[in-house]
Structure formats: structure tokens, C-alpha cells
Structure 1
Amino acid sequence: MIRLNLPSFDIKVSGSKQHPQILDVLRRKFISLTPEEWVRQHFVHFLIEHKGYPASLLANEIQLKCGDKVLRADSVLYSRELQPRMIIEYKAPHIPITQKVFDQISVYNLLLHVDFLVVSNGLEHYICKMDYESKKYVFLETIPDYSDLLTL
């Protein structure tokens, strides 16, 4: 797999060379190792180990219903009151972060109404803070530590 712009971690893999799997620490099971999953696992470990995000407040592959349509948010960070606070959308490293990616995460946000939207392909990471009163958003320069996130 490609080297990402994220810290390395103790990767646990299993399966065969043709069908490798990686341990998802949040779902506590092995998942097919796709390029997008490679990014997700690196990003989740980055949040937990380097930014202080509680693993107990993060969840992967959150199912959302929009009428008859079923959607899946890649990762969601919840508040201690279990309200959605951040949506994270991952793409494989070879997929550029475009307006289409932000449009996709915005659809999820229509349902969850979170404070922060994050998109990453493992090489580039973007985070924006929503301002619902002014009906705008502001891009932050870096992914904040969890303790700082609580004050934003």
C-alpha cells in the first residue's frame, strides 16, 4: 500500500495475499484491505493516538436513511452526549479531493447536522467548521486536538 501523509501505526493484517484484511479497531473485526480502508485505519489511529480523540466516541460505517435511500458515513465522532459532532469522509489516495467529495459529505450532514466536516484521501486532509447561524463554513488549517475541538 502507498505511504500516506499520516503517522504509521502497529498495523494488524490477516487473510491471504490475494484477499488481505486489516483490523478495524472501532468495529473490532478484520475488514477487506482496500485503498480507502487503508486511509480510514490510518486516519482513525491518527485521531486516537496523536490527537486524543476517544475511541469510544468514534464509529465507522454509520448507516443513514434519507427517504428510501440508505447512505453510509465513513466515520462519525460523537459528543459525550452521543450527538453527532463530526463526519469524516475517506477516499483512496489516488482519488483527488474535489467539490464532488464535499457535496457527498454535505448530503450526510443534512441528516446529522454536525459541527465539523473532514475529508481525506490520506495525502490531503481538509476540515471545515460549520456556522449554521451565518450559513457558511470556515476551513481550519489543521485537524485540532480533541481537547481543542471541544472549545471550537
Structure 2
Amino acid sequence: MQKLNFPPYQFRLKSSENKIAIFDDIRKKFVILTPEEWVRQHTVMYLKEEKQYPKSLMNIEKAIKINSLTKRYDVIIFHPNGKINVVVECKAPSVPITQDTFDQIARYNLALNADFLMITNGLNHYYCKMDYQNERYDFLQELPNYQQQTLN
């Protein structure tokens, strides 16, 4: 798999039916290793290891209803009170981050109302803080770590 713009992490891999699977520590199971899954697993490790978000507050690939459509988000991090803190959209490294990507996560966030958005293809990462009062998102240099948020 391609080297990504994250610190190096150790992953559990296995071969199954001529496919490589990676262990997802949040879902507690092996999942087929696709380029997007490679990005998702790096993102989860980054959020846990570098940003100190507790894995108990993370959720991966669940269905949500947006208008009449069923969509799946990549990663959500909750606040301890159950409110959504961060929504993450992961793309394969070959997929450029475009306005369409931002539109996709913005549509998801209409239903989720998160405080922060993160978009990554493993090579480029974008972070936004939602400003609901002014109906916009403000770009950040990086996502605040969990401790910074709990102090505010």
C-alpha cells in the first residue's frame, strides 16, 4: 500500500481468500484492505495516537439518512455527552480533494451537526470548525486534540 502523510503505524494484516485484510480496532474485526480503508485506518490511528481521542468515542462506517437517501460516514467522534464532535471523510489517495468532497461532508453534517470536519485522502488533510451562527466553516491548520477540547 501507498505511503501516506501520517506518522508510521503498526497494523495487523492477514491474507484471506487471496485478499489482504486489516484489523479495525474500533469495529473489532478484519476488513478488506482497499486504498480508502488504508486511509481510514491511518486516520483512526492518527486521531487516537496523535490527537488523543478515546477509541470508545469513535464510530466507523455507519448508515445515516440524509433526506430520503441512506449514506455511510467514514469516522465519527462523539463527545462524552453523545453530541457529535468530529466527522471525518476519507478518500483513497488517488482521489483528489475537491469542492465535491467538501459538499459531500457538508451534506452529511446537515444531519450530524458536528463541531469539526476532517477530510483526507491520506496525502492531504483539511480541518474545519463549524460556525453555525454564520452558516460557514472555518479552515484550521490542524484538528484540536482531545485535551484542548475538554479544557474549553
Q: Give the alignment's TM-score, normalised by structure 1.
A: 0.94
108-117 vs 13-22, which deviates more?
13-22
Letter in 1 for 2:112: L
Q: What is the alpha-carbon distance in structure 2 between the residues aligned to residue 55 and residue 11 of structure 1? A: 16
Aligned residue number for residue 35 of structure 2: 35
Tell me, yes or no, if the aligned pair for 2:66 and 2:108 is still in contact at 8 Å.
no
The runs of 5 or more residues in structure 2 that have no matched partner are none
Aligned residue number for residue 84 of structure 1: 84
Matches within 5 A, 1:15-94: 15-16=15-16, 18-94=18-94
Q: 1:149 deviation in Å?
A: 3.1
8-17 vs 105-114, which deviates more?
8-17
Deviations 1:74-106 (A, max 9, x none): 000100011111110000011111001001101
The runs of 5 or more residues in structure 1 that have no matched partner are none
Deviations 1:47-67 (A, max 9, x none): 101111100001100210134
Q: 1:134 deviation in Å?
A: 1.5
Q: 1:5 deviation in Å?
A: 0.5
Tell me, yes or no, if the aligned pair for 1:62 and 1:76 is still in contact at 8 Å.
no
Aligned residue number for residue 112 of structure 1: 112
Q: What is the alpha-carbon distance in structure 2 between the residues aligned to residue 90 and residue 62 of structure 1? A: 14
CA RMSD of aligned residues (A): 1.4
Letter in 1 for 2:98: T
SS in 2 for 1:20: strand
Q: What is the alpha-carbon distance in structure 2 between the residues aligned to residue 115 and residue 151 of structure 1? A: 15
Q: 1:135 deviation in Å?
A: 1.5
Letter in 1 for 2:77: L
Shift in CA distance, 149/125, structure 1 to aligned 2, threshold 3 Å: farther
Letter in 1 for 2:61: E
Q: Give the alignment's TM-score, normalised by structure 2.
A: 0.94
Q: 1:151 deviation in Å?
A: 5.1
Shift in CA distance, 39/110, structure 1 to aligned 2, threshold 3 Å: same
Q: What is the alpha-carbon distance in structure 1 between the residues aligned to residue 67 and residue 5 of structure 2? A: 37
Aligned residue number for residue 98 of structure 1: 98
